[in-house]
Amino acid sequence: MKPPIKSITIATLALLLGHSATSAVALAQQIHHPLTIAKSQPLTDTLIVPGERVGPVTRTTTKQDLVKLFGASHLVDKTISGAEGIGSFAATQVNLNQGRCLTTSRCASTLLVVWSDKTRTKPLDVRNLGSAWKTREGIGVGTPLSELRQKLGNFKLFGLAWDYGGTILLDSSRLSKYQGKLILRVDTAANAADKYPHDYQAVSGDRTFSASNPHWKPLGVRLAEIIVVLNPGQ
């Protein structure tokens, strides 16, 4: 059975972002309904600009701004745990799918704003992004490894099945300018560990691997998680 992979949490972000040698979720399924905001207007801006914005959500967006942007009925305040259950952080889930999600964990137009404190007036990062959100390079949840290699070059990434499993080392890629502003993590197809145990184990553990390693090929690797850091160090 495939080993569990812990999600990257707020308390561990500083470690990951500050050291280039240093979160598992179901892959998004693309849906074809238009994204909507308050008053049923189409949400056409789904661009990710690392360190600056995710669509209309910017470095200065507050909870009240989210209400104005999306409508209170599309927001759910929650508290998420820090690393290994230590500490907690205020967050606000934005869901624009109006019950039309194909999965409960990652719909096309969802996002989670994690706040720097309980006042919900400064976003730390935006995560749990659905497949609708993409960078200028066309990178989004669900992008296959082969396409990532075309866009990023022959980058390095951490092995599978541990806290930072599948995290791409951006400083080894063509997108090194996003280091500290963007976290990308890949994962395998759901049954990959059982179907290809030799290949899975060969690219697992607390070590780095080249994206060109042949053991990745049968595992159905795709981008599984994007975290956009808006106010690092807060």
Residue 97: band (very low, low, confident or very high) from pLDDT cuts 50, 70, 90: low
CATH fold for the domain made of 10-229: protein yfey like fold (2.60.460)
What mean pLDDT is predicted for residues 83-111?
71
Q: Do 221 and 186 contact (CB within 8 A), yes or no?
A: yes
Residue 234: band (very low, low, confident or very high) from pLDDT cuts 50, 70, 90: low
Residue 102 has pLDDT above 60, yes or no: no
Q: Cα-flanking dihedrals φ and ψ of residue 15, to 5°?
A: -65, -45
What mean pLDDT is predicted for residues 98-111?
57
Rounded mean pLDDT of the chain? 83
- pLDDT at position 64 is 98
Residue-wise pLDDT tens digits, 142-197: 999 999 999 999 999 999 999 899 999 999 999 999 999 999 999 999 999 999 99
Cα dihedral 161→166→169→174 (10° resolution):
160
Residue 23 has pLDDT above 50, yes or no: no
Residue 84 has pLDDT above 80, yes or no: no
Residue 67 has pLDDT above 70, yes or no: yes
DSSP state of 195: H
Q: 187 exposed, middle or buried (CB, 10 Å; 0-12, 13-18, 19+)? A: buried
Cα 227 to Cα 7, 34, 169, 178, 232, distances in angstroms: 11, 23, 14, 11, 12
3-state SS, residue 219: helix
Residue 8 has pLDDT above 50, yes or no: no
What mean pLDDT is predicted for residues 50-79?
97
| 34 closest CA partner among 46, 26, 22 | 46
What mean pLDDT is predicted for residues 72-85?
86
- pLDDT at position 232 is 84
Q: Do 8 and 85 contact (CB within 8 A), yes or no?
A: no
Of 16-20, 191-195, 212-216, 230-234, the least confident: 16-20
- pLDDT at position 10 is 39
DSSP state of 228: E
3-state SS, residue 179: coil
DSSP track, 122-151 = SEEEEES--TT-EETT---TT-BHHHHHHH
Q: Cα-flanking dihedrals φ and ψ of residue 32, to 5°?
A: -110, 10
